[in-house]
Amino acid sequence: MSLATQDSAIRTGRVTRTLIYLVLLLFALFYMLPLYVMVVNSVKPLDEITGGGMMNLPQVFTLEPWAKAWSSAQIGVDPTGLKPYFWNSIKMVVPAVIVSTVLGALNGYVLTKWRFRGDTILFGLMLFACFIPFQIVLIPMARMLGLMGMAGTTWGLVLVHVVYGIGFTTLYFRNYYAVFPTELIRAAQIDGAGFFQIFWRILLPSSGPIAVVSIIWQFTNIWNDFLFGASFAGADSQPMTVALNNLVQSSTGVKEYNVHFAGAILAALPTLLVYIVAGRYFVRGLMAGSVKG
């Protein structure tokens, strides 16, 4: 290849990369535009927004909308803000994530290291549960919660999310444990280790990457869920998403858009922080069990 041809190829490559970066930058700006609107308008006085300056930077910076959204906004009957509903979501998400992750790990352990007749069929049925639409399970789940006396409670919501999430967590751990050396399990059995000893001392300590995947997935899905919270929660157990909807849809008084934007950011902040802190481990955990050897 001549020198002129090499220079032409280099220039073409630079132009191509530049165009690709420009297109990606355009898409990034388009994707970030809603977040910009929310953040900017959450720190403005209401009159700046109603005056037609929604896209403009704030002339007067204020955190009063954030304080009001958190502690004194009108949600339902009382001006409680989002604070009590935030803690309702925490009390729902934490046990649901822990229980579904541990049960998924146990299921993956059994389905890969303690094989039995029909285990593939059972795994297929659990995998099928991942694709059942939420709407189909509303009436049966409501009936079961009523029979168990858990309707309208936080623990009822925990049960719903554990049942619906266990298929996903089982899938993650089953694929991860499938490439775990079975020889280690056999050696532990020869040394006298039992079912739970092998699980707690050998498999679980090595399950960090896939546990992070399961926790991020479950935390995000449960925190962002609206349908189950609106269908099964009582007045004292409503999660953050339901309270945010009630705040935005309130028909009393003036529509305080700055408070609504602040409330939306508060509702999205936990999942955003989870992805910022542990997002890079999500793909790494998914890839950890994808290649054998």
CA dihedral 258, 84, 244, 51 (to 10 degrees): -10
Asked whether residue 119 is domain-assigned, the answer is: yes
Task: Say how many Å lie between the first and final Cα of the chain, rounded.
Answer: 41
d(CA 129, CA 110) in angstroms, rounded, equals 18
Asked whether residue 163 is domain-assigned, the answer is: yes
pLDDT of the residue at 288: 63
Phi–psi pair at 75, nearest 5 degrees: -130, 110
Is the pLDDT at 209 greater than 50? The verdict is: yes
Q: Which of 70, 19, 77 has the alpha carbon at shortest distance from 236?
A: 77
Q: Are residues 107 and 173 in the same domain?
A: yes
Total count of residues recorded for the chain: 293
Q: Are residues 35 and 118 in the same domain?
A: no
Q: Are residues 46 and 172 in the same domain?
A: no
Mean pLDDT, all residues of the chain: 85
The pLDDT tens digits of the residues spanning 102-142 come to: 999 999 989 888 888 888 888 888 888 788 888 888 888 88
The domain of 96 spans: 84-246+263-288
Asked whether residue 88 is domain-assigned, the answer is: yes
The pLDDT tens digits of the residues spanning 218-271 come to: 999 999 999 999 899 888 889 999 999 888 887 566 788 889 999 999 999 998
Q: Are residues 96 and 240 in the same domain?
A: yes
Q: Are residues 110 and 185 in the same domain?
A: yes
Q: Are residues 121 and 240 in the same domain?
A: yes
Is the pLDDT at 205 greater than 80? The verdict is: yes
Q: Which of 186, 138, 183, 182 has the alpha carbon at shortest distance from 163?
A: 138
d(CA 142, CA 85) in angstroms, rounded, equals 21
Asked whether residue 75 is domain-assigned, the answer is: no
Q: Are residues 139 and 239 in the same domain?
A: yes
Q: Are residues 54 and 94 in the same domain?
A: no
Write out the two tokens for 135.
Answer: 């709407």
Asked whether residue 293 is domain-assigned, the answer is: no
Tally of domains in the chain = 2
Write out the two tokens for 136.
Answer: 């189909």
Lowest mean pLDDT of 31-40, 163-172, 177-186, name the range. 177-186
As a whole number, mean pLDDT of residues 53-68 equals: 87
Burial level of 215, CB count in 10 A (0-12/13-18/19+)? Answer: buried
Q: Tell me the Ramachandran region of residue 61: left when phi exceeds 0, alpha when psi lies from -120 to 50, beta otherwise.
A: beta
CATH number of the domain bearing residue 190: 1.10.3720.10
Q: Are residues 52 and 106 in the same domain?
A: no
Per the CB < 8 A criterion, the answer to whether 82 and 263 are in contact is yes
Asked whether residue 258 is domain-assigned, the answer is: no
d(CA 276, CA 273) in angstroms, rounded, equals 5
Per the CB < 8 A criterion, the answer to whether 263 and 66 are in contact is no
The pLDDT confidence band at residue 186, using thresholds 50, 70 and 90, is: confident
Q: Are residues 125 and 192 in the same domain?
A: yes
Q: Are residues 52 and 119 in the same domain?
A: no
Q: Are residues 209 and 100 in the same domain?
A: yes
Asked whether residue 34 is domain-assigned, the answer is: yes
Asked whether residue 251 is domain-assigned, the answer is: no
Phi–psi pair at 267, nearest 5 degrees: -70, -35
The pLDDT confidence band at residue 99, using thresholds 50, 70 and 90, is: very high
The pLDDT confidence band at residue 293, using thresholds 50, 70 and 90, is: very low
